[in-house]
Amino acid sequence: MLVRNVAIIGLGLLGGSIGLAVAEFLPGISTRGYDADPQTRDRAQARQLVGMVCDSASEAVANADLVIFCVPVGAIPAAAAEIAEHLPADAIISDVGSSKQTVGEALRAALPHHVVIPAHPVAGTERSGPDAGFATLFQHRWCILTPDGNTPDQALADVRSFWESLGARIEIMDARHHDLVLAVTSHIPHLIAYTIVGTASDLEEVTRGEVIKYSAGGFRDFTRIAASDPTMWRDVFLHNRGAVLEMLGRFTEDLTAMQRAIRSADGDALFDLFSRTRDIRRSIIEMGQDDARPDFGRADHQDG
């Protein structure tokens, strides 16, 4: 791997976790970081999330071989423009956002002379900010890379090796296909969680206190998802709205079919659906993507 100096722009959960993971698993690589929030920079310094916390993005990227944007996807175009005049000519540009097509287009437009390899580590928690990061966040998690047809083989190999060294498993995927897959596996579940928790809090017949006091396991898990960073998820839905709307249309059709089955007391249809979904859950556990322990083993840091 030719990467020796990494710049991390954004020092929240993902940026901080990358810095800590590099220190633990790639001690020969130096890290610099920057965050637009001075308080975040102070906490990043206190926690030693990176080797050097810089006062500007331009300082952070000055000698970088790899620049990773760990900011909400809506902030990426401005952040990229800010560093454009200060990047080394051979620096590789990447990110960690969960929508890839629009992010890749924005980065290539802002930095047309640099190699851009968008990445999505499918890992996280409902927590955010510089105190949320931990070095093992990416262990045994997938990291999806979405290079375009012009990506040099060596640059792709370097980014792949970087993430593998942090413990991630790598998948190469077309950006548009990534956005469709993540719309159904991540974005729609978050949208449902935000909606159902909002519905519960707005009910007039059931007080908010009762919703909180008598929350069963299913609702509690929805609230865990719905506690995710609101800025990040606002930007995800705005920047992946085409794929989200496509999958939301399919979900709406399936939800209508479920309504019909309940209304007509079609127990066979309900049982068939519930059996198929249970098989999906078992497959996720078998692949090591979640935990079969009670409450999904979430007494400690887990995936979000």
Sign of the dihedral defined by the CA atoms of residues 52, 54, 59, 61, in that order: positive
pLDDT (0 to 100) of residue 288: 65
Distance CA 132, CA 225 (A): 15
Nearest one of 138, 134, 139 to 120, comparing CA atoms: 138
Q: Following DSSP, what letter does each residue of 27-82 receive, concatenated?
A: TTSEEEEE-S-HHHHHHHHHHT-SSEE-SSHHHHTTT-SEEEE-S-GGGHHHHHHH
Residues 214-249 pLDDT 10s: 776 677 778 877 887 788 888 888 888 888 898 888
pLDDT (0 to 100) of residue 61: 96
For residues 35 and 244, which has the higher predicted lDDT (pLDDT)? 35
Confidence band of 300 (pLDDT split at 50, 70, 90): very low
Sign of the dihedral defined by the CA atoms of residues 34, 38, 40, 42, in that order: positive
Domains and CATH numbers, the chain: 5-173 (3.40.50.720), 177-289 (1.10.3660.10)
Confidence band of 193 (pLDDT split at 50, 70, 90): confident
What angle (nearest 5°) sits at the alpha carbon of residue 80, between those of residues 165 and 20?
30
Distance CA 187, CA 178 (A): 12
Residues 62-111 pLDDT 10s: 999 999 999 988 889 999 999 999 999 999 999 998 889 989 999 999 99
pTM for this entry: 0.79
Residue 304, pLDDT > 50, answer no
